[in-house]
Amino acid sequence: MAYDDPASGAVSERALARLQAEFGGHPDVSLIDLGYQREEGRLTRSPVLRVHVRDRWLAAEPEDRIAFPAEVEGIPVEVTRGEYELE
């Protein structure tokens, strides 16, 4: 799947809403958004649902971490570090 605008598209919006409803309130999750996949470090136009997690999720043992789905409605889910702070 490739698209030009991650903010549009009924499927991606629905998938984002589902993921936010299920995990958006978890204390280890700082953000959930719809962005673009990277290939070899470069941004592509392929959509990806991103779960931004706090450091404590990354530091926890795998068996102690909350698990996220690999995809929602055909859109892959990526877990990424997200300790956002005022700059």
Answer whether 42's CB lies under 8 Å from 71's CB: no
d(CA 11, CA 54) in angstroms, rounded, equals 27
CB 8 within 8 A of CB 34: no
Rank residues 71 and 83 by Cβ distance to another protein and give the closer one: 83
Please give the structure tokens belonging to residue 14. Answer: 């629905």
Q: How far is the CB of 58 from another protein (least distance, A)?
A: 6
Q: Phi/psi at 63 (nearest 5 deg)?
A: -70, -15
Contacting another protein within 43-82 (CB under 8 A)? 43, 45, 50, 52, 55, 58-59, 80-82
For another protein, the binding residue among 7, 10, 67, 70 (CB under 8 A) is: 7
Query: Which spans of this chain sit near another protein (rule: CB under 8 A)?
Result: 4-7, 30-31, 33-36, 38, 41-43, 45, 50, 52, 55, 58-59, 80-87
